[in-house]
Structure 1
Amino acid sequence: MLTVKPILPRFGAEISGVDISKPLSEEDRRAIIDAMNKWGVCVFRNTGLDDESHIRFSRNFGRLELAPLRRDGKGRLAHRELFDASNLDMEGEINRDPSAVMYRKGDRLWHTDSSFMEKRTSYSLLLAHQTPKEAGETWFADTRSAYEDLPQEMKDKIENLKGENSLWWSRKLAGADISDETIENGPKAVHPIVHTHAGSGRKALFIAAHTKDIVGMEPEEGRRLIRELIKHCVQPQYVFKVKYEPGDLVIWDNLCTMHRGGEFDAENEARDMRRTTVREGTEPNSKDDDDPFTELFTGMPKSLSRLTAPEAEA
């Protein structure tokens, strides 16, 4: 039987009582979904998962996105269902390439995975393989409770607004040398900044570092609103962090959370994290043959072009 230990009163829980390295019963699968709908982030400790069982477990929740193909067709990980959220190169050594270091800086901003894609991500499932001695946590923020606590005047103001999201925009915010022209001409996705979270029926904000502009607003006004809403969401009452040990798995629902990677000594300590990503609205084990991430990264800006395969956000 699933045991649930809340982390915050309305957000986050540690889950035990089920062996997720083995095939799930329908009862356990449903119980995990129910826990995710209520808590938004679920932490499983010492799971015993490897790459194959990580993928198998993730398929219980929908169609898994495929990591973008490298230009040389190779990858550090054997399965494209795994996004490489490490600071390691192809040989498993710490990657100190300036392009890779710069790309990873964007992961330190509050974001939602893949909001720059037309097809949104629901669950992200991040498994720790190797962790630094100090720090390297992931921070999570509750965008349902944050929305509910907004003044009614702000709720009315943002109810029907839409945000324009760009991966290259968030990388520029983190310090990458990317021109405004490149961002404007690059791929963007438009999503409502307030939506009803399907699993709980609660409204949530859907806005973070990838959100570049508010449709119909002047850039300065829209970006000021984006910053204000992010600042509201990351107040202490909505936020907690997860410290990992190898074998720990965290699932978060991108449709009701934001997250960011914590700092650690990335120049000298390895952090090997691998993430599966579930497409919103898909059935367990569903598949199709589209490959939107490879298409997106084909147009990578020149300042990041030495990367042969981008790391995932975590």
Structure 2
Amino acid sequence: MPITVTPLSERFGAEISGVDITQPLDEATQAEIRAAQDKWGVTFWRNTGLDDASHVAFSRIFGKVELAPVHKGKAPRFSEPELFDASNVDAEGKIIDNPMRRFINAGNRLWHIDSSYMDVRSAQALLLCHSSPPVKAPTQFADARSAYDDLPQAMKDRIDGLQARHCYFYSRMKAGYPTTEEELDTMPHATQPVVLDHVASVRKSLYLGNHARDIVGMDREEGRALIEELNDWVTQDRYVIEVDYQPGDMSIWDNLCCYHRAGDFDDTAYARDMRRTTIREAGVEAADDHFTTMFAASKRKAEPATQE
């Protein structure tokens, strides 16, 4: 039976139903799901029935599933090493009481692209809700392909061929984490094109977000003004959709063609258990532990939280 695709907007986002993704899928169904993901950029799945193991198994239809970073002195909360922890709870399900960790998590509430600060880019992310707060806390997504399509030609010409330097802790600094520009200079950066070719849809996408720190070859002030102008353009209401979660719901987004930001809620009062798998960009070879290596190289005392 073909999957059912219900668009959430004219050009971006769709809800998918009509298939049991807790079970192995035939090649035709897998291909249909991938095609829907490539077309819509974000897909949303209600009441999936997935557990940790089937979450990871389903993720493999999209490609190489990354290993989550291992933090020294902290045992992983999950049995599946591919699961990134996008929660505010500890292994016993208690809300984490760590002000510095909350500063880190606050960066997730800025518009960003997962792993843009890594040389190895991430493609799809599959975020599964295990528990949700009793308040509205939707994830928002912005259509970076349509935003590029709609840019004035003069701006397209201006940014053609430009590159930006991305840094994980730059977005954290913008969210209030106590970091200096001098400290950032010592941390890992990745250089990315401002305009990325989205191979799967044969379209172009703006690739910036709040990890983008500077434009290569441009005065810092001028470059940051350009980054902010383009980020503001992508995140206009006309390009944005949002989805909220109940336990068992899952969103899948393609980091190569959209921005996103986490839902805002009082994370000192309400628990939220969200687990994510991350798919490596197709055709890229890298060590399996490159997330662990990157975070270790940042040399921060606070515990880096994964992104939503």
Instruction: Flag whether TM exceeds 0.5 (same fold).
Output: yes
C-alpha displacement at 1:227, in angstroms? 0.3
Q: Deviations over 1:71-106 (max 9, x none)?
A: 125111222200000011232200121121111000
CA drift at 1:38: 0.8
Per-residue deviation at 1:282?
Answer: 4.5
Aligned partner of residue 75 in structure 1, secondary structure:
coil
- Find the residue that maps to 2:199 and give its secondary structure: coil
Aligned to 1:158: 159
Task: Give the conservation status (yes or no) of the 8 Å contact 1:138–1:241.
Answer: yes
One-letter amino acid of the counterpart of residue 29, structure 2: D
Q: Distance in 2 between matches of 1:166 and 1:135?
A: 30
Map of 1:313 onto structure 2? 307
- The question of 1:115 aligning with 2:109 is answered no
Larger deviation: 290-299 or 165-174? Answer: 290-299
The answer to whether the 8 Å contact 1:76/1:91 transfers is no
1:313 partner amino acid: Q
CA distance in 2, matches of 1:73, 1:149: 46
> Which of residues 280, 287, 292 is equivalent to 1:294?
292
Q: Give me the TM-score of the superposition, normalised by structure 1.
A: 0.95
Q: Give the superposition deviation at 1:299.
A: 3.0
Q: Map 1:208-247 onto structure 2 (within 5 A).
A: 208-247=209-248
Q: Is the 8 A contact 2:11 2:40 kept in 1?
A: yes
CA drift at 1:195: 1.8
Residue aligning to 2:3: 2
Q: Which amino acid aligns with 1:58?
A: S
Q: CA deviation at 1:113?
A: 0.5
Percent identity over paired residues: 49
- What pairs up with 1:65-214 in 2 under 5 angstroms? 65-72=66-73, 74-214=75-215
Q: TM-score, normalised by structure 2?
A: 0.97
**Aligned equivalents of 2:302 and 2:110: distance in 1?**
22
Show the counterpart of 2:55. 54
Q: Which amino acid aligns with 1:137?
A: P
For residues 155 and 300 of structure 1, what CA distance do their matches in structure 2 show? 34
Runs of 5+ consecutive residues of structure 1 not aligned to the other structure = none
Q: How far, CA to CA, are the matches of 2:238 and 2:71 in structure 1?
A: 41
CA deviations on 1:21-42 (whole Å, 9 max, x unpaired) are: 1111111110011101110000
Conserved in 2, the CA contact under 8 Å of 1:83 and 1:311?
A: no
Mean Cα deviation higher: 205-214 or 91-100: 91-100
Aligned counterparts of 1:182 and 1:277: Cα–Cα separation in 2 = 28
Contact 2:107 2:171 in 1 (8 A): yes
> Retained in 1: the 8 A contact 2:67–2:288?
no
Q: Indicate the SS of the match to 1:128.
A: strand
Tell me, yes or no, if the aligned pair for 1:182 and 1:301 is still in contact at 8 Å.
no
- Could you tell me how far 1:288 is from its partner in structure 2? 6.7
CA contact (8 A) 1:62 1:282 kept: no
**Can you give the 5+ residue segments of structure 2 that lack an aligned partner in the other structure?**
none
Q: Distance in 1 between matches of 2:202 and 2:286?
A: 28
How many Å separate the matches in 2 of 1:74 and 1:227? 38
C-alpha contact (below 8 Å) 2:188/2:298 kept by paired residues: no
Tell me if the contact between 2:120 and 2:286 (Cα under 8 Å) persists in the aligned partners. no
